[in-house]
């Protein structure tokens, strides 16, 4: 499934350039940036359902959470686009209470680093209440959180903590990489009846891709093959999907056929898609935005080892962050964060083996 006419290794900061590229391919498609796709999703669900509201620090600021909530308070009022105090755990409790009563809150944390302040509410309450009460209580709560690097964000403003939430039963975890998927998955999250940790990478906000104007949903637990290949399976998480596609182009020129998988959601995980690909290629690399130790890549590697070991021609490789806090220095950031060069090196190592 390939739902975009854009070359995946190229970012289109200019929508006109994207649409011209589509026309050259004989397609007439509307392009939106990742941030615009989020804002359009929020606008449409706010219009459709009066039970939906947004809450978060700075949601009504001029910047509007990197542009994703810009001016929504002017359109829907501050009773539905609510700026909140710096009290993460307490406000998460408010959001859960609203969800229990039938509202559909979208709680925005501009940086994932501060979600641990809300872990008691998320892990012990939001994730558990439906189970505790035999399914009679629904928690339609969407928690948007932002990861990513840049600007010297360092150890407390750039962490990718998705593995923490993937570990907790009762939570769904989404990490869309394209404008199409971010709109569709956000709408699915808000319309659903279970709590969702919805994770966006700030380096994706300027990517432009095809996004239909109508409201649509993307299902949880269904990954997609972005590139088909026969020699090695490469699973890219969030922004690392784009680095995986860059690596795929480099390796294709060298005669290595790489299959690139975009999971889109981590919980539920499209295990069948991964296993099917590994059974075909016999090799697996997982590229994640988080740390290697007990991370998403470790979970995927474990499942493949348990269920497709006999098909493996080489050890599974994990491309992830080194076991150290994030540095602030730009020079050190370049060494700290893996990119497509690390993926290419990993693939070459497996092919030699």
pLDDT, mean of each 10-residue run, the chain (353 residues)? 49 77 82 96 98 96 95 97 94 97 95 94 97 96 91 82 97 97 98 98 93 97 97 97 96 97 98 98 98 97 98 97 90 92 96 83
Catalytic-role residue among 57, 88, 200, 243: 88
H/E/C letters for each residue in the chain? CCCCCCCCCCCCCCHHHHHHHHHHCCCCCCEEEHHHHHHHHHHHHHHHCCCEEEEECCCCCCCCCCCCCCCHHHHHCCCCEEECCCCHHHHHHHHHHHHHCCCEEEEEECCHHHHHHHHHHHHHHHCCHHHHCCCCCCCCCEEEEEECCCCCCHHHCCCCCHHHHHCCCCCEEECCCCHHHHHHHHHHHHHCCCCEEEEEEHHHCCCEEECCCCCCCCCCCCCEEEECCCCEEEEECCCHHHHHHHHHHHHHHCCCCEEEEECCEEECCCHHHHHHHHHHHCCEEEEEEEECCCCHHHHHHHHHHHHHHHHCCCCCEEEEECCCCCCCCHHHHHHHCCCHHHHHHHHHHHHHC
Q: pTM score, two decimals?
A: 0.95
φ and ψ at 213, to 5 degrees? -70, -35
Does the active-site annotation cover 88?
yes
Domains and CATH numbers, the chain: 15-210 (3.40.50.970), 224-352 (3.40.50.920)
β-bridge partners, 143? 107, 197
* Nearest to 271, CA basis, from 251, 300, 295: 300
Whether a cis peptide bond, with omega within 30° of 0, leads into 319 is: no
Predicted pLDDT of residue 1: 34
Predicted pLDDT of residue 339: 96
Catalytic-role residue among 157, 200, 207, 259: 157
| Alpha carbon distances (Å) from 99 to 4, 166, 263 | 35, 21, 28
Predicted pLDDT of residue 6: 52
Predicted pLDDT of residue 26: 82
Predicted pLDDT of residue 3: 43
Predicted pLDDT of residue 304: 98
Does the active-site annotation cover 157?
yes
Contacts of 199 (CB under 8 A, 6+ apart): 112, 145, 146, 147, 160, 162, 173, 174, 175, 238
């Amino acid at each position: 499934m390939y739902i975009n006419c854009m070359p995946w290794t190229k970012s289109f900061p200019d929508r006109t350039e994207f649409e011209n590229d589509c026309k050259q391919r004989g397609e007439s498609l509307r392009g939106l940036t990742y941030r615009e796709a989020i804002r359009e999703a929020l606008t449409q669900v706010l219009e459709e359902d009066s039970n939906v509201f947004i809450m978060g620090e700075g949601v009504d600021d001029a910047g509007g959470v990197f542009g994703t909530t810009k001016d929504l308070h002017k359109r829907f009022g501050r009773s539905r686009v609510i700026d909140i105090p710096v009290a993460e755990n307490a406000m998460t409790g408010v959001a859960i209470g609203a969800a229990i009563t039938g509202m559909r809150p979208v709680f925005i944390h501009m940086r994932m680093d501060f979600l641990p302040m809300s872990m008691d509410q998320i892990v012990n309450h939001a994730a558990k209440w439906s189970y505790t009460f035999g399914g009679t209580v629904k928690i339609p709560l969407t928690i948007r959180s932002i990861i990513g690097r840049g600007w010297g964000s360092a150890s407390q403003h750039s962490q990718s903590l998705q593995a923490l939430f993937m570990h907790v039963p009762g939570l769904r975890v989404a990490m869309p990489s394209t404008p199409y998927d971010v709109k569709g998955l956000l709408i699915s999250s808000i319309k659903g009846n279970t709590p969702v940790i919805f994770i966006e990478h700030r380096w994706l906000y300027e990517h432009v891709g095809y996004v239909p104007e109508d409201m649509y949903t993307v299902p949880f637990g269904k990954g997609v093959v972005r590139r088909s290949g026969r020699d090695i399976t490469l699973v890219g998480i969030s922004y690392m999907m784009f680095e995986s596609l860059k690596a795929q182009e480099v390796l294709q020129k060298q005669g290595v056929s790489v299959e690139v998988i975009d999971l889109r959601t981590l919980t539920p995980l499209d295990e069948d898609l991964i296993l099917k690909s590994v059974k075909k290629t016999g090799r697996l690399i997982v590229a994640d935005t988080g740390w290697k130790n007990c991370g998403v890549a470790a979970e995927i590697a474990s499942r493949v080892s348990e269920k497709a070991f006999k098909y493996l021609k080489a050890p599974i490789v994990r491309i992830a962050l080194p076991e150290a806090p994030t540095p602030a220095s730009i020079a050190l950031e370049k060494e700290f964060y893996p990119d497509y060069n690390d993926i290419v090196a990993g693939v070459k190592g497996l092919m030699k083996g």
